[in-house]
Amino acid sequence: MSEIPTPSLSLSARLEPLLFVAPGPVTNAQLASALEVPVRAVDAALTELETYYTQTGRALRLQRLHGRVQLTTAPEVGGLIERFLGLEASARLSQAALEVLAIVAYRRPITRPQVDAIRGVNSDGALKSLLSKGLVQEVGRSSSPGRPILYSITPEFLQHFGLGSLGDLPPLEGDVPEENNEAELSTPEAEPPDVPR
């Protein structure tokens, strides 16, 4: 395969088309490998690209989740895109689904029995609805008796609520700092499956 020269393009400019054509979220290491540059150079270029999008009022955003990054549109243009593509407005979530989604988002990874215990009612239907909408995903199994399924949020959750990363969630009173939450997400049991999109 012949190499295409790109000397006049900055690293952030070369990252942008890779993010554009990626079928889903990618790791910084994947980007670094494709561009044959160090991962720390990709980190810096992504920060530069993110700053450019926000400071210049662009309708694109970088979304980060589980150590992966994806190019997405800003939530403010969601209605415009739906109208242009002829899509129906996003289905509204029921109160029960919103409660379950909030619990999963803040206490990830979590089992259904743990969600039920927090809500005080069975959450099976709401959880199934969130799974079918792609807002929640299975991320492994708990080591507790019966090895119940662990659930966490998805990149689609971030898109649905216009969040760039898990750090954008509003803090809860007495919540664990985000650094600990990120460490929790990196445990093998809670790592999201690599599913082709």
Confidence (pLDDT) at 44: 95
Contacts of 194 (CB under 8 A, 6+ apart): none
CATH 2.30.42.10 fits 92-190, yes or no: no
Q: Which residue has the higher pLDDT, 182 or 114?
A: 114
Tell me which residue of 140, 122, 124 sits closest to 132, measured CA to CA: 124
* Same fold: 11-84 with 92-190: yes
In this predicted structure, the answer to whether residue 139 has a pLDDT above a threshold of 90 is yes
- Mapped onto helix, strand or coil, the DSSP state of residue 165 is coil
CA 152 – CA 136 distance, rounded (Å): 6
CA dihedral of 154, 159, 164, 165, whole degrees rounded to 10 = -10
Report d(CA 89, CA 95) in Å as an integer: 18
At residue 186 the predicted structure's pLDDT band, cuts being 50, 70 and 90, is very low
pLDDT digits (tens, 9 = 90+) for 83-126: 787 665 455 788 999 999 999 999 999 999 999 999 999 999 99
In the chain, domain spans: 11-84, 92-190
What is the end-to-end Cα distance of the chain in Å, rounded?
A: 26
Tell me the two tokens of residue 178.
């985000």
Q: What is the pLDDT of residues 26-77, one digit of tens each?
A: 999 999 999 999 999 999 999 999 999 989 999 999 988 878 999 988 888 8
Percent of the chain's residues with pLDDT above 90? 51
* Residue appearing with tokens 């966490």: 152
Spatial neighbors of 65 by CB under 8 A, at least 6 apart, are 25, 153, 154, 155, 158, 165, 166
Backbone angles phi, psi at 169, to 5 degrees: -65, 135
- pLDDT, residue 184, reads 38
174-181, long-range: CB within 8 Å, 24+ apart, which pairs?
A: 175/106, 181/108
| pLDDT band for position 197 (cuts 50, 70, 90) | very low
Output the CATH code of domain 11-84.
1.10.10.10
Confidence of residue 196 (pLDDT cuts 50, 70, 90): very low
The secondary structure element, H or E, covering residue 13 is: helix 11-21
Among the listed residues 66, 25, 32, the one whose alpha carbon sits nearest the alpha carbon of residue 188: 66
At residue 77, the pLDDT reads: 84
